[in-house]
Amino acid sequence: GAVVSQHPSWVICKSGTSVKIECRSLDFQATTMFWYRQFPKQSLMLMATSNEGSKATYEQGVEKDKFLINHASLTLSTLTVTSAHPEDSSFYICSAIQGTNEKLFFGSGTQLSVL
Partner 1 sequence: LAKTTQPISMDSYEGQEVNITCSHNNIATNDYITWYQQFPSQGPRFIIQGYKTKVTNEVASLFIPADRKSSTLSLPRVSLSDTAVYYCLVGDGQAGTALIFGKGTTLSVSS
Q: Report the interface residues with partner 1, using CB under 8 A.
A: 1, 4, 6, 31-32, 34, 36, 43-46, 49, 51, 91, 93-95, 97, 99-109, 111
* Smallest separation, CB 96 to partner 1 (Å): 10
Give the number of other CB atoms < 10 A from CB of residue 73.
Answer: 13
Helix (H, G, I), strand (E, B) or coil at 40: coil
To partner 1, the closest distance from the beta carbon of 55 in angstroms equals 13
Q: How far is the CB of 48 from partner 1 (least distance, A)?
A: 9
Q: What are residue 13's phi and psi, to 5 degrees?
A: -140, 165
**CB closer to partner 1, 13 vs 104:** 104
18-43 b/e with 16+ CB inside 10 Å = b? Answer: ebebbbbbeebebebbbbbbeeeeee
Measured from the CB atom, is 17 or 108 closer to partner 1?
A: 108
Q: Over the Cα atoms of the chain, what is R_g?
A: 13
Closest contact distance (angstroms) between CB of 83 and partner 1 is 25
For residues 10 and 83, which CB has a smaller minimum distance to partner 1 in the complex?
10
